[in-house]
Structure 1
């Protein structure tokens, strides 16, 4: 089972860089050979084209809108509606780009989002204290998810 871990976010909007920091730490560690961790930053279109390579699972790591306690993690599985809308290269949010994956001839694989509630997405570099404190927990969450996927696939 091939797993793509994609960190997304804007390094220049403080907590929006959560996904990129988590993936940077994951990529610096030992990952199984069937797992690839990539910091896509704001290049969601690049992510869509990489998904055309036929991944079995996408783990998307991203900041979540301010709808809860800053630093709180949420893990959820995405069940997209079929959509053949052509992605807009100027509408770079991951949801919009991935929704148009069918128009590129691909399909969205099983997708799990590991997200963190933000505290500050103003201009600036560096995560807020609550979001920075969630990074190691998110790394553990993604590793646990990889273990569970291996067990589900019968390879663990």
Structure 2
């Protein structure tokens, strides 16, 4: 994108740049106002809302604002540095949308991560919830939703990418009825926890991220679903598709994710397990039943 070369290594990062009397930086909401001299791709983004991903000074001392466009279906690719989904503008080409004065004007950055193996029956709950979120839920500014599948190393590194909090969505047996949803805040993994780069349960991912981040982690919550069908991966056949109670729980998980994320954005304590809307529905008693 003009004027920065996306193939080139960025210059030193600067935290903010002042635009119209407002300091904007990572997480700030802006509206794109490309100059008339802009190329056709820039002009196509005119008027669109975006989130600032970074502010850079290039080697010539010019400041550039890297943004992620809100309604770009590949926005998460831009957040991971992929070309074509991360756009560069000058400070004069962005209009601040959040003009509240003082510290804390920018909202927290939150990661919603689906984890699990879609070939192991109910272990695919996390990816299914992420797919539903991407279809049905317009994520607020500062919130990134992504399916990490079984890529434990990728998720561990992403947890260290400047997020204030993360919500991991996973199948999690806790002894309840199949389809029961719960929101928990796991204890920090012990320092001597063995790191397994290919394991994908939340505790192992957190242990890996903690090791990579020299002990520093964002706040992490887990939205878990009680599975009906549990597989280890040692079975001779794969099973694609969720059991009935877990598939039904996917629909209940979407508003629960929205509720937890809203609480994190507003600085409120998120709902703890069990959540009032998290229990599987019970069948109404037929006449004569008790």
Q: For 2:247, which of 119, 132, 144 is the aligned residue?
A: 132
State the alpha-carbon separation in 1 of the partners of residues 129 and 253 from structure 2. Answer: 7
Residue 73 (1) aligns with residue 177 (2) = no
Mean Cα deviation higher: 37-46 or 74-83: 74-83
Mean Cα deviation higher: 35-44 or 84-93: 84-93
Contact 1:5 1:60 in 2 (8 A): yes
The alpha-carbon distance between structure 1 residues 49 and 8, as it changes in their structure 2 partners (threshold 3 A), is same
Q: For 1:8, which of 92, 115, 124 is the aligned residue?
A: 115
Q: For 1:117, which of 223, 226, 230 is the aligned residue?
A: 226
Contact 1:73 1:115 in 2 (8 A): yes
Instruction: Indicate the SS of the match to 2:260.
Output: helix
Q: For 2:124, which of 5, 14, 17 is the aligned residue?
A: 17
- Give the Å deviation of 1:84: 6.4
- The 4+ residue runs of structure 1 with deviation greater than 4 A are none
Instruction: Indicate the SS of the match to 1:6.
Output: strand
Q: For 1:38, which of 132, 146, 170 is the aligned residue?
A: 146
Partner of 2:267: 152
TM-score (norm 1): 0.89
Mean Cα deviation higher: 75-84 or 56-65: 75-84
Contact 2:115 2:200 in 1 (8 A): no
- Give the structure with higher Rg (CA): 2
Matches within 5 A, 1:73-112: 73-81=181-189, 83=191, 87-105=195-213, 107-112=216-221
- Give the Å deviation of 1:81: 4.2
**Greater helix fraction, Structure 1 or Structure 2:** 1
State the alpha-carbon separation in 2 of the partners of residues 81 and 27 from structure 1. Answer: 30
Cα deviation 1:72-106 (Å, max 9, x = unaligned): 11111123145265732233433113113232125
State the alpha-carbon separation in 2 of the partners of residues 120 and 128 from structure 1. Answer: 7
- The number of equivalent residue pairs is 153
Instruction: Indicate the SS of the match to 1:75.
Output: strand
Mean Cα deviation higher: 81-90 or 16-25: 81-90
Structure 1: tracts of 5 or more residues without a match: none
Partner of 2:133: 26
TM-score (norm 2): 0.49
Partner of 1:63: 171
The alpha-carbon distance between structure 1 residues 50 and 67, as it changes in their structure 2 partners (threshold 3 A), is same
